[in-house]
A and B are shown apart, each in its own frame.
Chain A
């Protein structure tokens, strides 16, 4: 299995809703990432988990809350979002193995297209 899966593919939510994005990989990767991507822009890193521990939080507002229940799963909990949070949310994973040239190759999921009304 060499893919990263994400659900849902599309999500429309109001500003008062609570929803969650889910990501799963079964490649044995130990690093998992959340990115946010606006149209015609490159992906922007939000969070990194390494060995199920939050490693990087790129000054993301608290209305985004990540969770890593185990090494294969990564969630992003959403609460009280703003319309400007509408974007494509990408999950990625990598081996996270020091000394391996391709250790940082990130495999991306198909993304969740989020619209906040």
Chain B
């Protein structure tokens, strides 16, 4: 089966750091995506982790531990525009097209 868990909602202050966790139990695993989705808009790609460790891209970093079935997205120097839903999605690989999405974490950034 496929099971991906993320917190439903989080609130953080402008300028702060927030970590959004994602745990997964899936029948196949090639890598893990993080997408950002503003209300009423399409998801946009943030990161893709295949290997264990931390990958940094500007204010956003993503971490993966394959052995623990765990990933997190770290957002630094939060800005109001970072208020959005953050979706983690497992890429099962092995020729499968079907990403399995978590339910998303709605992040609210407050002044």
A interface residues with partner B (beta carbon < 8 Å): 31, 33, 40-43, 45, 48, 50, 55-56, 88, 90, 94, 96, 98, 101-102, 104-111, 113
**Smallest CB gap from A104: residue in B:** B91
A56 and B97 within 8 A (CB): yes
B42 and A109 within 8 A (CB): yes
With A98-B95, A104-B93 already in contact, the answer to whether A42 and B48 are too (CB < 8 A) is no
With A111-B41, A113-B40 already in contact, the answer to whether A104 and B103 are too (CB < 8 A) is no
Within 8 A of A (CB), among B15-34: 30-31, 33
How many A-B pairs have beta carbons closer than 8 Å: the answer is 56
**Smallest CB gap from A42: residue in B:** B101
Bound-state Cα–Cα, A96 to B93, Å: 10
- The size of the chain B interface, using a CB distance under 8 A, is 24
Nearest Cβ on chain A to B31's Cβ, whole angstroms:
6
Q: Which residues of A contact B35 (CB under 8 A)?
A: 108
- Could you list 29 A-B pairs, sorted by A, with CB under 8 Å? A31-B97, A33-B97, A40-B106, A42-B103, A43-B101, A45-B98, A48-B97, A48-B98, A50-B97, A55-B97, A56-B97, A56-B98, A90-B42, A90-B43, A96-B97, A101-B30, A101-B48, A101-B50, A104-B91, A105-B33, A106-B33, A106-B45, A107-B45, A108-B35, A108-B42, A109-B42, A110-B41, A110-B42, A111-B41
